[in-house]
Amino acid sequence: MNFNRYLILALSCVSLNAFALDCNNPPGGTDLASAQGNFQCAEKARVAADKVLNDTYKKLLGSLKDDSEKENFSRTQIVLAQRAWVAFRDAECEFRTSLSGGAHQWLVVNRSQCIAEMTTDRTKALQSYLEQAQSQ
């Protein structure tokens, strides 16, 4: 795990003029500079997805109460479910990354992309729960 942290730091420190990077057309190639550019785009997507997820989750928490008569929308249940989902997401992305193989610089790119994708999907589910909770 420490190697991955150092690799992320190294990828983050390599100068690629990140502010001019077009994430709609990430750099091609398989070298370190390409990996660094793709990592920056993947991280940008992951951070944005995480912000939307957290905002949606906070709204959902605000709409729920711990009420033994309404077990379907209890605050305690969604907190437990969200914690379990985070553990699942992390384990799933580690597994997917291990399947992809390749150089370590690309493993961190793949992991960030996986987290962004799964976070976006989870946000859709939380939004659906929020709509259901608000309609009751």
Overall average pLDDT of the 105-130 stretch: 95
Q: How far apart are CA 65 and CA 12, in angstroms?
A: 42
The Cα angle at residue 118 between residues 39 and 98, in degrees rounded to 5: 60
**44-48, 100-104, 109-113, 118-122: least confidently modelled range:** 100-104
Q: How many residues does the chain have?
A: 136
Q: Are 42 and 115 in contact (CB under 8 A)?
A: no
Q: Domain 2-14+31-134: state its class.
A: mainly alpha
- The residues, any chain, with a CB within 8 Å of residue 110's CB and separated by 6 or more, are 96, 97, 100, 102
60: helix, coil or strand?
A: helix
pLDDT at 19: 46
pLDDT per residue as tens digits for the range 82-109: 999 999 999 999 999 999 877 788 899 9
